[in-house]
Structures are given as C-alpha cells and as structure tokens.
Amino acid sequence: MRARVAWVILSALLWGCTPAPDDEPDPEVPPQRPAPSEQVSEPRPTVEGGTAIVAVDEEPATLHPWIAEPDSNVGMLVRPMLAPLWRVRPDGSSEPWLLADQPTVREATAAEPFLVTYRIRDDAVWSDGEPIDGRDVLFTLETCIREVPRDDCTGVDLSRSSADGKEATIAFEQPVAAWTAVLQSLPVLPEHRLRGRAPRTAWTRRIDVSSGPFAFASWTPGERLVLERNERWWGEPPALERIEFRFGDRSAVGAVVDGLVDVAQVSASPSAVEQARADPRVRGVVEPGSQWAALDFNMASELMGRRAVRRALAGAIDRATIVRELIQPVSPTATVLDGLPGGPQAADDQPLSYPRYDPARAARELDAAGCASGDDGVRTCGDQRLEIDLAVAPDDWQHAVIADYVRSQLTAVGAAVRLTEGPLDDRPAAPSEGPGTAGTWDLRVTAVTGTVTGTVTGARRWHCEGSANTQAFCEPQYDAIIDRAAATTDPRQRAALDGEAALLLSSALPTYPLYEMPTMLVHTRGVRGPTLSPVEWGLTWNVNEWARTADRVD
C-alpha cells in the first residue's frame, strides 16, 4: 500500500506519494522532468565527526517517551538515545533492532497461556556498561501497564511473564493478533536506572543512560537539546559526533536556507515548497506523512447521526477537485484516498461503499431523507434546518482551504454551513461519557495520525470504548468484528475480519477519507542521510546513518 513513486523537480526537489485505489477519475498529472543538476549529480564524500542541527518547533515538557503524548515530537528527540525492539523503515517493513532476531511464538494450550519470547542482542548494552536484557523488557511492560496505561500493552499478563538473561517471555491473557504491536514503537526502559522512580517526574529534563547511537549531553531551556555520540553503542558507530535540536523556529525552511539549522520537517505548504525549491544549497523531499486528512461526522448531532444524511452530504463533496487544486501543486501524484490508513483494510478486490461525487444524486437523497428545499435555498429536515457547524483548526493551511471547498460544495445542495475556527472539542465519546456526548460541531476537518503497529490498534478509533473515539460513533457489530480480529492469530482469518470491518465503516460513514497529507523534509546539502519516515519517531529513525559531507555548502 505504501509503494511510492519519486519525482525530481527543479533544484533537487524530490516528490513522492502513496497511490490509493479509487474508481473516481484521477486528475491527469503531467510527467515531471528531472532537473539537469540532479541528472549529473554524484554522491558527495562524507567526513567523520561534525554536528547536525535539527529544527524542533516546540520544546517538550518531558523526555520520557512513555509519558509524552503520542503525537508530540518527543519520539524524534529521544529516538537517537533510546532503542526500540524493532526499527520500522519508511516503507512500513520492520527489522530487529535491539532484538537478535524475530520473536518466537508459542500458541496457548489448556495449561499454558499465549507466549512470545523476545531475545535481546548479546552485544546490546546501556551507555553505563550494564547489559540490556529481559528484565528491562519486563520493566518496560510493567511501566506501561501500571504507571502509564496505553493500548501498546493491552492483554499482557505480567504475573505469568518471565525474564532469563537476554530473553523475556511475555504471556498474554488470551491469544492476540496485536502482540507484534507490544513495544514495537516505543523504546525499552532501563530497570536499573528507573526502578523506584515515578515516571511522571523521571527524565523530564535529562535521560541519564542511553541504548542508542547518541547520549544526552545538555539541555538549555528555551534554546536547544544536545546529544553526543554514545561510545558504548552496540551498532555501527555513527559518523556524526553531535546532534543538536534547536527549539522554537517557526520558519524552519527559512532557517535551513539561512544556515541556522541543517534539517527540518515541515508541512508541505506551497510557500514552503517554493522556498526550498529556489535555493540550490537546499534539498527538499515531499512525501505522504504519518497523517491523513478526513472529514469526521459527529454522531451525537441530530442530523449527522442519520446515516442517509451523512451519505448524501458526502456525495456532494468533490474530493478529486480538492486533491487536484489543493494537494497536487505540492505533491503532484497525490490521489483521492479510499480506505482508512491505520484502520481496517479491505482486500484489494473488495470494493468499499464510500459515496462518489454526484451532487444531483446527493440532492435526490436529501429529498428522500425528508430534507426539503426552503424558500431561502436552505433545506429543512422535518422541523430542523440543515445548518452545519464545520470545525477546522485555523493554523493548518490545508484544513482551512479544505473547509472553504467543503462549505461551497455543501451549500450547493442546500446546506447552510458555518465555519468554526479555534481549538476543537475533542472530548471522548466513550467510555467515560458514553455514546452521544461528543462536542458541538457537526462536521470536522481532521488530521488523523496513522499507526505502524497494525490495523487492530488503529481500528479502535471507531470502537465504542476507544479512547480516541471523539465522534460518538458506536456500532456493536463493528466492535464485535474488531474484537474478534484482536483475538485472532491466524493472519488469513484476521484479514477477512479486517475486510468486514472496513466494509462496515465505509457503509456507516463516521469518517470520510480524503488524502494522505504531504509533509516535507528539507536539509542542507552539507548533510547526507536524513529520510522521511511515517513512524512515530519521525525523521531521526536512521540518525545513526547521517553524516556531514566533505563539500558543505555555506
């Protein structure tokens, strides 16, 4: 699904995308011709040592990766210092990282639980010389379960789990499909340093031991975080001597162009792309990021809670025009997205039932739903006018423009649309408040963060009891399907259940997918190695492979 096509544009601007299936006509995209400078460019030699300066738009409140919010930039900051069990590559494939090899699985029996054994590399040590072993794995799970509960550790039975030297055997309360998600994204914690320390106060301003290629050196509040090469790292020694994260520069592309920073990841706005394209000292890469744009319906709203109204309104939205006019100028091969990345996936030959753009049919469906046209052009559904509060975060250029498109398209079929800007009401609809208690918005432009931990985890966004269910969507049949998938270890059975869940979501339509949101990596040509990745720790996923070039451009 994440196969990519790369295009080189003008002064070393590399474009990429992830095509998604859609039977709507795709806008024609003229072929892009590589710039002459890229056609003749050769690899530049690298030098040992040096510093790479990375722009960070917001200073974190903590460096503890298990405490930080999943969508914060903490993962990018601590990835060079703390290693996970697996490293997930940009294409979604994973490779053992702290692990010596892939885990072994023992199916449950009448007498034994479902067991997974992880073996840590023999040469893996912490920067203070202590071995990284099975006790650290168990301590990390204990922290996850008892101190900072997260979905990552769902179903682990600590009382029946054990550690033996470099091995940790994890018992699950029942067979679970998502066992590979456990500890896949977040790093292993050092028991010998953190045992007895409260996670909420540990590592707020310093990580005192490292398992990655770099180690903590200093933190200047409001300015920078500096890491230095970990001389005891068990992998191939990194070429760089230091990584410096510089906080607070909101114009990251300008900072790279001006030489204040070497590397930055930014929203791929037209102005940012043009700025990177204009300077030969800078290389920009635009690809789909870890987020996708969607329209969420508030199921607690009286009108949006009606499936017929949701589907009619979705059919009035011209997604192809939105993609062609808004996204393709910065990501030329972008396409309409059918399907929910990180959510249930349908089989390639299984058509989903998302509405297609057809405003005439949308008008007829609204008529059939009892939403009659009024004298002022606004429909009335029974005794309620078709007035829609469309919520959008104003600081996102894509979402603000999408809202204008959606408003005009819905107005054309008889809706009165009010734009609401500012902080969105993200109060969860379940489990604490129950279905029917989402915020005051009716329709919301949303950036949904995908997941690298598998569809079982992502599917819970629409579960009645899902912690990220902010739409008051609650469908018992859907819950039953994904609960069965979560307890199914057979990949073929799980794929079939996945398909059922995807088909149900496309029919129920709590969320209408639009496209994968492009992001841009920009860096000076004096640094080689930075690569975009959709995983949680972002662009530092391969920081051990970065290097300064011998012909640094100033």
H-type alpha helices, 195-323: 252-257, 270-277, 307-315, 319-322
Which pair of structure tokens corresponds to residue 48?
A: 């040992």
Query: Which among 186, 514, 536 has a CA at the least distance from the CA of 340?
Result: 514
Distance CA 324, CA 320 (A): 6
Which conformational region is residue 524 in: left (phi greater than 0), alpha (psi within -120 to 50 degrees), or beta? beta
Q: How far apart are CA 310 and CA 507, in angstroms?
A: 10
Name the residue type at position 399.
Answer: H
Report the alpha-carbon distance of residue 408 to residue 388 in Å, rounded: 12
Token digits of residue 329? 């100028």
The residue among 3, 94, 1 whose CA lies nearest residue 344 is 1
pLDDT at residue 365 in the model: 97
Tokens encoding 451: 């997941």
Tell me the two tokens of residue 78: 């601590």
Residues with Cβ within 8 Å of 432's Cβ and at least 6 positions away in sequence, in order, are: none
Rounded to the nearest 10°, the torsion over CA 503, 509, 514, 518 is -80
Number of Cβ atoms within 10 Å of the Cβ of 551: 11
b/e sequence 223-261, b meaning 16+ C-beta within 10 Å: ebbbbbbbeebbeeebbbebbbbbbebebbbbbbbeeeb
CA-CA distance, 240 to 226, in Å (whole number)? 13
The answer, yes or no, to whether the previous bond of 431 is cis (omega within 30 of 0) is yes
Structure tokens at 428: 């969860």
Task: Provide the token pair at 227.
Answer: 């890491």
Residues 6+ positions from 408 with CB-CB distance below 8 Å: none
User: Is the Cβ–Cβ distance between 297 and 443 less than 8 Å?
Assistant: yes
Confidence (pLDDT) at 212 = 95
Q: How many helices (H) and strands (E) does the chain have?
A: 13, 24
Strand order in the sheet with 547-549: 46-47, 547-549, 527-528
380 in Cβ contact with 387 (< 8 Å): no
Q: Please tell me the predicted confidence (pLDDT) of residue 452.
A: 35
Separation CA 192–CA 219 (nearest Å): 23
Q: 379-415 burial, b for 16+ CB within 10 Å, e for fewer?
A: bbbeeebbebbbbbbeebebbebbbebbbebbeebbb
**What amino acid is encoded at 139 in this protein?**
F
Residue whose tokens read 């990282």: 97
Q: Which residues pair with 125 in a beta bridge?
A: 131
Residue with tokens 């109060």: 427
What is the pLDDT, as a whole number, of residue 216? 97
Structural domains of the chain in order of their starting residue, each with its CATH number: 7-64+212-289+518-549 (3.40.190.10), 74-194 (3.90.76.10), 290-516 (3.10.105.10)
- Residue range 429-458, pLDDT digits in tens: 433 344 444 457 899 998 876 543 333 447
Give burial (CB, 10 Å; 0-12/13-18/19+) of 552: middle
Beta bridge pairs of residue 134: none
H or E element at residue 199 = none
Report which of 354, 67, 342 is spatially closest to residue 205, judged by C-alpha positions: 67
What CA–CA distances, in Å, run from 84 to 325, 451, 549? 40, 16, 29
pLDDT of residue 268: 85
**Mean pLDDT by groups of 10 residues along the chain of 554 residues:** 28 28 35 31 69 91 82 86 86 84 84 89 96 96 80 80 95 71 78 92 92 96 95 93 88 86 88 88 84 89 94 97 91 86 77 93 96 93 93 77 93 93 48 46 83 50 83 93 82 86 94 90 92 76 90 48
Which pTM does this prediction carry? 0.76
Check residue 435 and give its pLDDT: 41
Distance between CA 205 and CA 199 in Å, rounded?
A: 12
Tokens representing residue 481 in the block: 């399907």
How far apart are alpha carbons 294 and 283 in whole angstroms?
30
Q: Return the H-helix or E-strand segment holding 398.
A: helix 397-411
Q: What is the pLDDT of residue 176?
A: 65
